Amino acid sequence: MSKEKKFFSKLLSGLSKTRYTVTSRVEELLKLSGSINDELYDELEEILITSDLGVKSTTEIIDKLKSKVKEEKINNPSEVKDVLKGIICDILEESENKPYVKFPMIILVVGVNGVGKTTTIGKLASKFKNEGKKVLLAAGDTFRAAAIDQLSIWGNDIGVDVIKQHEGSDPAAVIYDAMQAAKSRKVDVLICDTAGRLHNKKNLMDELKKINRIIEREYPDSFKETLLVLDAATGQNAVNQAREFKEACDITGIVLTKLDGTAKGGIVVAIKEELGMPIKYIGVGEGIDDLQEFDPSSFVEALFGDVK
């Protein structure tokens, strides 16, 4: 099986719960509808909202769908699904950026505790290492000894060094040390963990600002990313977290984890449409290779493609 087919197969499998709640219901609705009318649109709207696409996103999708159906003179309900797929794909592809193009790179990884932040760092490190990049990790979440230990285990497992200090150290000092090490060792990618404190706390904002100031001063030539890790299973709460973090720091992309364990995959659309934040990676399994670069067309096909 080719890498692309294997990739899509993983995606298809990972989105199976969301497919069941969205695609099956949409297909059943279109199959039972004798015509395209307001009742059909109302029921379709309900399916999308309950699949965590969000009220705002769903309203816009339905409005576009009505316009397209009218414009293309579509009368058969069975043709509506392809139009719906096209609209959602357009939303996800709008201003979509491909992940990472410039090295050396510093990636700050932010997010509340429990979303899979440290695991995401380990999987990203493995991905870059497999691509031939020299990778270094920084244990910037110094408020929990467990976070430092967990990152050290990941580093040991994949053969990547971890710069760390003791619990309670200044996170900015850890990341400063990591940057000096990255420069002296000619590292391609430095991935920094940060404290997963509550997103509405001022001290988190201040800490991230301090870290960013140090990066600008000490490593101005590096390409900087700030990735926000969200748990797809939390649904609309993930959108609220993203909104809070967006106010706290300059988020350049989203990593959406645990898509394989939830029926709330529609949250991808809500995040993109409501917040305008690009989804850079999605997690569709527990394996080290199950963190995939987000491809809008593959995602929509896996979500809305014909159910076999």
d(CA 34, CA 9): 34
Asked if pLDDT for residue 102 goes beyond 90, the answer is no
Statement to judge: residues 112 and 86 lie in one domain? no
Residue 106 pLDDT greater than 60, yes or no: yes
CATH number of the domain bearing residue 247? 3.40.50.300
Q: How far apart are CA 27 and CA 22, in angstroms?
A: 9
Secondary structure (3-state) at 283 = strand
In the predicted structure, residue 50 carries a pLDDT above the cut 70: yes
What's the whole-model pTM score?
Answer: 0.90
Question: What are the tens digits of pLDDT across the range 264-279?
Answer: 788 889 888 888 888 9
What total of structural domains would you count in the chain?
Answer: 2
Whether 43 and 126 share a structural domain: no
The confidence band for 4, taking pLDDT boundaries of 50, 70 and 90, is low
Residue 100 maps to a domain: no
Q: Which of these ranges, 161-175, 178-192, 274-288, has the smallest mean pLDDT?
A: 274-288
The reported pLDDT for the residue numbered 200 is: 52
Domain region containing 21: 3-93
Considering the domain architecture, whether residues 278 and 193 belong to the same structural domain is answered as: yes
Q: How far apart are CA 67 and CA 80, in angstroms?
A: 12
User: Is 297:290 a contact under the CB 8 Å cutoff?
Assistant: no
Q: What does the alpha-carbon distance between residue 308 and residue 45 come to, in Å, rounded to a whole number?
A: 24
The verdict on residue 302 lying in a domain is no
Buried b / exposed e over 5-20, threshold 16 CB at 10 Å, is eebbebbbebbebbbe
Distance CA 109, CA 149 (A): 17
Q: Please indicate, yes or no, whether residues 227 and 196 belong to a single structural domain of this protein.
A: yes
pLDDT of res. 165: 93
Most confident of 109-123, 137-151, 177-191, 286-300: 177-191
pLDDT digits (tens, 9 = 90+) for 225-250: 999 999 988 888 888 888 888 887 88
pLDDT band at 201, cuts 50/70/90? low
> Which of the four pLDDT bands, split at 50, 70 and 90, describes residue 7?
low
Best-predicted range by mean pLDDT among 7-11, 185-189, 200-204, 297-301? Answer: 185-189
For 254-268, the DSSP string reads EEEE-GGG-S-TTHH
Task: Please tell me whether residues 157 and 280 are part of one structural domain.
Answer: yes
pLDDT of residue 206: 84
Regarding whether 123 and 240 lie in a shared domain, the answer is yes
pLDDT at 12: 81
